[in-house]
Amino acid sequence: MGRYVLQRLLGMLVVMFVVVTIVFVIVRIAPGDPAAVMLGPDATPQDIAALRARLGLDRPLFVQYVFFLAQLIRGDLGESIFLNQPVLSALAERAEPTFFLTLFSILIAAVIAIPIGVLSAYKRGSLFDQTATTLAMLAASIPSFWLGLLLIQFFAVRFSLFPVSGYGGPGASFATRLSHLVLPAFALGVVSSALILRFTRASMLDVLSDDYVRTARSKGMGEFRVVMKHAFKNALIPVLTVIGLTAALLVSGAVVTETVFGLPGVGSLVVSAVLRRDYPIIQGALLIIAALYVLINFLIDMLYLAVDPRVRY
C-alpha cells in the first residue's frame, strides 16, 4: 500500500512538472505583449522594448524558464506585472470570493439535484421523472452568463434584493460580501445541478435493481427506509465524486459568471491576466488550479483505496 501511495505521489510530481512546462511555453508563444498593454495605445516601439528589458522578457526563453523553475523551487511564484504585488498574495485575495462562490454553488446544486434525482429514479418513467430529466437537460443547456443576466434583471434591478455586481466596497462586512454571491451562486448552482441530477438518477437506478435492495424489500422493510438507508447510501459514492470534480471545475471555470457579476475571483483574475498578458499571474494561477485538480484526483484515489481493497493489490 505504501508503495502505491509513493507511486501516486511521484506521478503527481511528474504531472505538475509537465503542467508547469506546458503553461510556461504556451503563455510565451501566444502573441501579445504585456509591455505594449501596460504602456497604452500611443507607446512607441522603443518604449515597449525598454519595458520588456526591465521585465526580463527580452532574455532567451530557456533562461526565463530556468529562472522561473528556480523561483518555483523557492516557493516563489513571482510578482504580477500589473498589480504590483506577489502572485501568491494576488491569488490569496481572490480565494475568498471563489471559495464561497464554489461552496454555495455546490450546495445549491446538491440541494436541487439530489432529492429530485433520487425521486426521479424511484419513479422511473413517470411524469415527474420525465419532467425532471427535461428540466435537467434545459439547465445543462442554459449558458450561465445568460442566466446570470436574467437573475440580475429580476432580483437586482426589478426587486432590488441583491447587488448587481462587485464584492462590496471598502470595509464591506462579511455579510455584505456574501450578499454579492447569492445571484452568481444561484446561476452556477442551477447549471451545475443538471449533471449531478443525472448522475444521482443513474446511480440510483443501478442500485435500486441490486440484489440487496430486493432482499431488503422482501424482508418487509418500508420503502422510505429501503431507498434512503440501503439504496441512496450506496448510490452516493459516484455522486460525491461528481460533486468533487464539479467543485474543482467551478474553482477554475466560473470565469464567465465571475466576469458577468464583476466578482474579483480567481477566474476573472486569470481572464484579465490573459488579456493583459500578465505572465506570472497566468502561470501561478494555472499552476495552483492544476495542483488542485491533481490533489483532488489523488484524494479520490486514496478514498478508493480505503473503500475498495482490490486497488491495493
Partner 1 sequence: MKLISRVLLPALLALGLSPVSAQTSGGIANVATIGEPPTMDPMVSTADLVGIVTQHFFETLFTFDKNWKVTPLLAESMPEITEGGKVYTIKLRRDVTFHDGSPMTADDVVASLKRWMELASRGKQTAGNIDKVEAVDPGTVRITLKAPYAPLLALLAFNNSAAVIMPAKKMENPLKEPVGTGPYMLKDRKADQYIQLVRYDGYKPRQGEPDGYGGARKPVLDEIRFVPVPDPNTRIEGAISGQFDYVDALPVESYDRLKGQQTTKPVVLKPFGWPVFVMNTKQGNMANVDARMAVRMALNMEDMLAAAFGSTEFYSLDAAMYPEGYVWHTMAGTEGRYNVADADKAKALLKKANYDGSPVRILTSRQYEFHYKMAQVAAEYLKQAGFKVDMQVVDWATLTQRRADPALWDIYITHSPFLPEPALIGQLSESSPGWWSTPARKQAVDAFNTESDPQKRVALWADVQKVMYDETPSIKIGDFNALAAQSPKLEGVVPAPWPYFWNVSIKK
In the bound state with partner 1, the residue whose beta carbon lies nearer, of 160 and 218, is 160
Which one of 57-65, 185-193, 204-212, 266-274 is the stretch in contact with partner 1 (CB under 8 A)? 266-274
Q: Report the C-alpha gap between 244 and 192 in whole angstroms.
A: 12
Tell me how far, at minimum, the Cβ of 53 lies from partner 1, in Å: 13
Give yes or no for residue 280 binding partner 1 (CB under 8 A).
no
Q: Report the C-alpha gap between 100 and 118 in whole angstroms.
A: 27
The x, y and z cell numbers of residue 88, run together, are: 501568491
The binder of partner 1 chosen from 70, 157, 228, 306 (CB under 8 A): 157
SS3 47: helix
How many residues bind partner 1 (CB under 8 A)? The answer is 48
Q: Which residues in 163-202 contact partner 1 (CB under 8 A)?
A: 163-167, 169-170
DSSP string, 203-249: HHHHHHTSHHHHHHHHTT--HHHIIIIIIIHHHHHHHHHHHHHHHHH
Q: For the purposes of burial, counting CB atoms within 10 Å of the CB of 226, is it exposed (0-12), middle (13-18) or buried (19 or more)? A: buried
Give yes or no for residue 84 binding partner 1 (CB under 8 A).
yes
SS3 58: coil
Q: Which residues in 233-262 contact partner 1 (CB under 8 A)?
A: 259-262
Q: Which residues in 23-62 contact partner 1 (CB under 8 A)?
A: 31-34, 36-48
Residue numbers at the binding site for partner 1 (CB under 8 A): 31-34, 36-48, 82-85, 90, 93-94, 149, 152-153, 156-157, 160, 163-167, 169-170, 259-262, 264, 268-269, 272, 275-277
